[in-house]
Amino acid sequence: MKRTITHLADGRELIYFDRRDDADRSAVDHRPLDPRPLASELRFDPLTEEWVAIASHRQTRTFLPPADECPLCPSSEGRASEIPASDYDVVVFENRFPSFSTNLGTYPEGSRPGVGRCEVVCFTSDHDSSFSRLSDEQVGLVMEAWADRTAELSGIEGVEQVFCFENRGEEIGITLPHPHGQIYGYPYVTPRTRRHLAAAAKNPTLFADVLRAERAGPRVVAANELWTAFVPHAARWPFEVHIYPHRQVPDLPALTQEERAAFAPLYTSVLRAFDRLFDVRMPYISAWHQAPVRQGRDLAYLHLELFSVRRAPGKLKYLAGSESAMGAFVNDVPPETAADLLRSQVDL
């Protein structure tokens, strides 16, 4: 793998990840870009003990442009995009409209700067592709990028947790359809992770116990020697799959090359099963749960959470009163039924 660091016209960092060592990454970004926005403002909610980022500059971010104006496609003659090169394998760059950054301003008393970093990960230069259609080799390159960026962002002063994720589908709320994900370097440990670690503190083998029970139960969707994909016993979403490595590791950089290689065919087969369920491109969120940078690393267990808001043909699971206001989920699809349906579509 070849890793090349360059910069965009406004100073943002861009990193090419290439399979070939002779890839030419000399193209330069000459666009007249506005100055980079200041970091968001963090406000603390004492009732929930959670931080909220106020990032008004994100209101102007690009929203569902036509394909010939996609900022994530390679640049071409007469049209410059966020990627100066005319082609690429995998690209990571700092988000132009970040929720968190190191470009600090002044902040009101009672709040603090949203220090951190937000990056975009382009999985392929093919605008019409999807993660499920990537080759095992290409998925491996994406994993190298995830691991590289997790390590790099973990070293930024003020970053407490690194989160790699993908939003897919307009039903989820995506603003760019090109196959891509994002990486957030948070200036705090997220609420979900804090709850995970608090539960694991009461039982240090909690994650391993959950995996052991699921591997022996009826909700396994797909598995190989190193990974298992299953619908959790208390799934919140109509179609929700968790994918665990069989070895407990804190984060993506801790995976071996063998584990990374084994993940690719399993994961893409589950994604294709999602699409086959109703013969549509399923909207989904794919989220890597990793250990925080400085706490709970001995308790955390790296795993991927994949879920869709689609519950049936032509029907979505909306987060209405119970879920949005109270955080109390009601699932319309029994997890065992979801597992049966997904398992029948897996092509592993």
Instruction: Tell me the CATH number at 178.
Output: 3.30.428.10
291 shares its domain with 205: yes
Distance between CA atoms of residues 98 and 61, nearest Å: 10
180 is catalytic: yes
The number of helix segments (H) and strand segments (E) in the chain equals 6, 16
51 shares its domain with 68: yes
Is residue 266 situated within a structural domain? yes
184 shares its domain with 203: no
Instruction: Give the residue from 155, 190, 225 where a domain finishes.
Output: 190
Is residue 57 situated within a structural domain? yes
68 shares its domain with 37: yes
Q: What is the pLDDT of residue 343?
A: 98
- Name the active-site residue from 180, 196, 289, 303: 180
325 shares its domain with 275: yes
312 shares its domain with 211: yes
Asked if 290 and 150 touch (Cβ cutoff 8 Å), the reply is: yes
Distance between CA atoms of residues 271 and 136, nearest Å: 13
Q: What is the pLDDT of residue 277?
A: 97
119 shares its domain with 265: no
Is residue 283 situated within a structural domain? yes
202 shares its domain with 59: no
213 shares its domain with 149: no
Range of the domain at 59: 2-190
328 shares its domain with 279: yes
Is residue 142 situated within a structural domain? yes
Instruction: Give the residue from 190, 221, 255 where a domain finishes.
Output: 190
Distance between CA atoms of residues 173 and 335, nearest Å: 25
Is residue 92 situated within a structural domain? yes
Distance between CA atoms of residues 100 and 103, nearest Å: 9
Instruction: Give the residue from 190, 212, 247 where a domain finishes.
Output: 190
Query: For the whole model, what pTM was predicted?
Result: 0.97
pLDDT tens track for 65-122:
999 999 999 999 999 999 999 999 999 999 999 999 999 999 999 999 999 999 999 9
Binding-site entries for Zn(2+): 70, 73, 127, 178
- Ranges of residues in the chain whose predicted pLDDT is under 50: none
Binding-site entries: 70, 73, 127, 178
166 shares its domain with 254: no
Is residue 348 situated within a structural domain? no
Element holding 83 (H helix, E strand): none
Neighbours of 111 (CB within 10 A): 15
97 shares its domain with 196: no
Q: What is the pLDDT of residue 348?
A: 84
Structural domain total, the chain:
2
Tell me which residue has tokens 């897996």: 346
